[in-house]
Structure formats: C-alpha cells, structure tokens
Structure 1
Amino acid sequence: MIVMTTDTRTEPSTTADERAMLEGFLDYHRETLIMKCAGLDDAQLRTAALAPSELTLLGLVRHLAEVERYWFREIMEDEDLPDLYSTEEDGDRDFHVTAQDTWAEAHATWLTQVADARKVTEAHGLDDLSLSRGRGGEPFSLRWILTHMIEEYARHNGHADLLREHIDGVTGE
C-alpha cells in the first residue's frame, strides 16, 4: 500500500461561523477530489478499476462539474444552461468517458464551474431561496444547497478513494 504524503488541503475551521464552516467543508471536499486525481495520467483517470462499475476518476470530476453548474447556476440562479457532458441520448455522459476525454479539459471545466459557484455563493445569504424550484415545487435555501454539495462530494470522494487505491495502490484521506 502506498500512502499519499502530500496533503495541501485547507482544513475547515473548527470554530468558524456557519457560513464559513459550510464553505470551508465544501472547499475541503473539492480539494479532496482533485487530490485523489493528482499524479495520474489520462489513461489512469479513465480507468474503471472496480468492475462491473464503469465509474472513473475522470467521470467523477466531470460529474461534479455538472453538479456544481446545476445547483448553483441552474437552481439557485435559474439560469437556462445546457448540460456540460450529458445528452438526451446519454443522460450519464459525464460518467461515460472515452479515450478522447482528457484531464486538462475536465479539470478546466470543473475549475470554471467551481469559480462560478463561488460567485453565486458570495452573492447570496444562507437563507436566500433559489429562483428555480425542485420537483415538488419547493425552493432551496443556499444553506441547503451548500449542505447538499458537501454530501455530494463526500459520497463521491469515497468512490474516488476506492478507485485510486485500485489504480495505483495510493491510499489516504
């Protein structure tokens, strides 16, 4: 077993106010995802290491770029945006990577979506409600969206842990 030795993530504050704590944990989980991908080449990032699952690290980054865009821009701001990767023919295209899909593109797209999400977050209070509604017609508070995003990243970072260990033996938090 090879253990990750360089951990450059920013630990969330243990005494911050609610907003700083939520943003801190979300950033921590964002950084965790990228750390899980560090040092791998495109072929490794496209490797579905846990058969029969098709899940890959590159697919996770693409998926979370879509999720950032969806919750912060489409739901919170009610922007009408096309999906980044998914199509009508393949609703899970973000996960379905091909030999042509690269880390450079996926990472750049993810960085853009995170930057956009931060702008939306900065423009709202935790109690502000989304302009778009959920399936049941309910709005979402920014607090709910931040909490949901932490959950989304935490779940997928667990997947990333397992994928990374199977790809090259690297483990770590």
Structure 2
Amino acid sequence: MQQPSDKVPALLDGPAVDVCDAHELLLGYLEWYRDALVRKLDGLSDYQLHTAAEPLDWSPLGLVQHLGWVERRWLRWGFGAEDVIAYPSGGDAEEWKVAAETSTAQVMTAYHMEVTAGNFHTRSAALSDKARLGGRFKTPDQAPSLGRILFHLLQEYARHVGHLDVARELIDGKTGE
C-alpha cells in the first residue's frame, strides 16, 4: 500500500492535469521543454558540454546556443518585431558552434536572457494576436499568430530535446525520461 510520503510520478509531463486553457497549456509545455533542456545537461562536465559526440557535429552547448537564437528569431524579432540581430554573422553553422573561449556560463546566461525576453512578449498576449510588423514579418499576410509561433517553438524544442537525449546517451549512456 502506498504511503502518503511516497513519491508518485506525474501522469503527464508539462502543466498540471487540470489546466485546459490553450494559452496556459502552450506556455506551460514550452516552459517544460525549456526546463527539460537544462535537466538533460545536468551532470555533464564542461568538456562534455563543449564537445560534440561522434557522429554528431554539434555539442550540447551548441544545441543550447541554437535554441537561444530560435527564441530570439521567433519571439523577439518575429512576434515582438524587436530590432535585434536575428542570425549570427557566420550563419547557421556558427549558431551551433560554441567558440572555445566561450564559457558554459556565458552560453547558459545568453539562452536564459532570450527566454526571459521571449516571455515578456508571450505572457500577456492572446494566442490570436498577430506578430507585430517590422521585424521578421513585413506585411500583415506574413504575420502569424502567437498560437502558430508557440506551436512552432514546441515542435522545435521537442525535436531538439530528443536530439539531446541521443547526444547524452552517446556521451555517458544516460537516457531520457
């Protein structure tokens, strides 16, 4: 018989089972995937975080850096139309490569700053709100709704957190939840 102090695993990942508001669900799952990304890095040495596991050509920190750029492009430049640099000067390849002199703390701080800035745009907006014009989107017919952008971010995170599971298993044999 289960005792009250026994830990019961959650039936579902993400927001609480009683959450039914679509806005709250999307933001809750996005936050869950952001947290999962960080959880999956736990226990890796600085060397392991900076080093690509064969046959991959990206490191765990490279993936974090990429997702920081994704957050920036979709939420700040895209939805918020902020005047920010949307891509590194070296393009996609640079987005995934962490310079040897860049510390783990620098990558994680930059990532968390992008998440915080993105949250600023999403918390009070309705799912039906269209992206502002002038950043990524120049005309009203190009501008997706916040709901569309959040769905895109969820698939991006789901895919990349799965990639990180593979990398982690190659690095030290740990498997995902």
- Shorter-chain-normalised TM-score: which range? 0.7 to 0.9
Q: How does 1:16-95 map to 2 (within 5 A)?
A: 16=19, 17-51=21-55, 53-83=56-86, 86-87=88-89, 89-95=90-96
How far 1:98 sits from its partner (Å)? 2.9
- Structure 1 runs of 4+ aligned residues shifted over 3 Å read 134-137
On the 8 A contact 1:50/1:166 being kept in 2, the answer is yes
Output the TM-score relative to the length of structure 2.
0.83
- Equivalent residue pairs, number: 162
Residue 3 of structure 1 corresponds to which residue in structure 2?
none
How far 1:167 sits from its partner (Å)? 0.9
On the 8 A contact 1:42/1:103 being kept in 2, the answer is yes
Identity %: 35
Give the Cα separation in 2 of the matches to 1:155 and 1:135.
29
User: 149-158 or 42-51, which moves further after superposition?
Assistant: 42-51
Q: How does 1:22-171 map to 2 (within 5 A)?
A: 22-51=26-55, 53-83=56-86, 86-87=88-89, 89-132=90-133, 133=137, 137-171=141-175
Point out the structure with max Rg over C-alpha. 2
How far 1:171 sits from its partner (Å)? 1.3
Output the TM-score relative to the length of structure 1.
0.85
Give the Cα separation in 1 of the matches to 2:162 and 2:37.
9
What runs of 5+ residues in structure 1 fail to find an aligned partner? 1-6
What is the alpha-carbon root mean square deviation over aligned residues? 2.1
Distance 1:136 1:65, change over 3 A: same
How far 1:152 sits from its partner (Å)? 0.5
What runs of 5+ residues in structure 2 fail to find an aligned partner? 1-8
Higher relative contact order (CA 8 A, sep 6+): 1
